[in-house]
Amino acid sequence: MTIEELTLEIYAERALTYFNSKHLVTWAVNILTLGYESNNLYILAGLDNASTEEREIYFWKSIVDLKLNIEKSEEDLMENYALNIAKKAIRKEVSIEYAFSQMLKIVFGSGYDYRYMAFYEIDEDLDYLKYDNSPLFNNGLTLENSKEFILEEMKIFVQMESLNIPREQREKCYCETCKNLTSPIMKNKFQLKKPFKYTALACGICGSDKLKYSNNHDVKRRIIEQSKKK
């Protein structure tokens, strides 16, 4: 990683709900490894047992020494951090458990931004599976395959973000009748019991209610492939 990427990651972590100041020490060590030097960097790299206040002092002194002026909004910082942490998980540089915990912090820190909600839904489903043995959002997710499932979600997340797929496209369903990706519509349906009339989501192309929804990994892959062709 470059000095800018390492520093953006630190800025993003600081914007989350909880930040361990020991990461500032790790940051200093990583910057020194890249070949940058300053007295303040060396001091910070050795503050394993220091207070957060002392680490913060030498972090900001190091930023001045390095002449870093990174102006990013909190949203941009979290976006960069989410991509970096997902890529690290894919490359096995961090554990799936750690990456997933960080993505959940991003969910809460971003105010439940739609781009990160899949990880919140997985977390909810893992709780459901512990007590009800049935997921609410993600069919196919089990306690046994959760690591593989989360890793696949990380891969999908990176691809969707890299392609800058808009929300409207990400929320499309797959119609098993006409075999198209579609924006679902509400359709009136009838049955021989109460309520006799009810509404349900249906394909916006052929009207079928045989839909696979946008939280399905297969549907997400279809959305990615369609976006690549544009």
Within a domain: 83: no
Handedness of CA 174, 150, 118, 125 (dihedral sign): positive
Give the CA radius of gyration of the chain.
22
Within a domain: 72: no
Within a domain: 207: yes
Domain that holds residue 188: 168-229
Within a domain: 18: yes
Within a domain: 79: no
Provide the number of structural domains found in the chain: 3
Same domain, 18 and 31: yes
- Planar angle of CA 46, 16, 20, nearest 5 degrees: 25
CA separation for the pair 153, 173 (Å, rounded): 17
Same domain, 143 and 177: no
Res 17: pLDDT: 67
- Ranges of residues in the chain with a pLDDT under 50 are none
Within a domain: 76: no
Within a domain: 48: yes
* pLDDT per residue as tens digits for the range 84-119: 999 999 999 999 999 999 999 999 988 899 999 999
Res 92: pLDDT: 95
Tokens 């220091």, residue located: 50
Same domain, 126 and 103: yes
DSSP 3-state helix, strand, coil percentages of the chain (rounded to 5)?
55, 10, 35
Domain's final residue, options 65, 85, 104 = 65
Same domain, 140 and 172: no
**Token duo for residue 201:** 């989501």
Res 16: pLDDT: 79
Domain's final residue, options 145, 167, 189 = 167
Within a domain: 118: yes
Closest Cα to residue 210, out of 189, 183, 179, 172? Answer: 179
pTM over 0.85: no
Domain's final residue, options 135, 167, 199 = 167
Same domain, 129 and 192: no
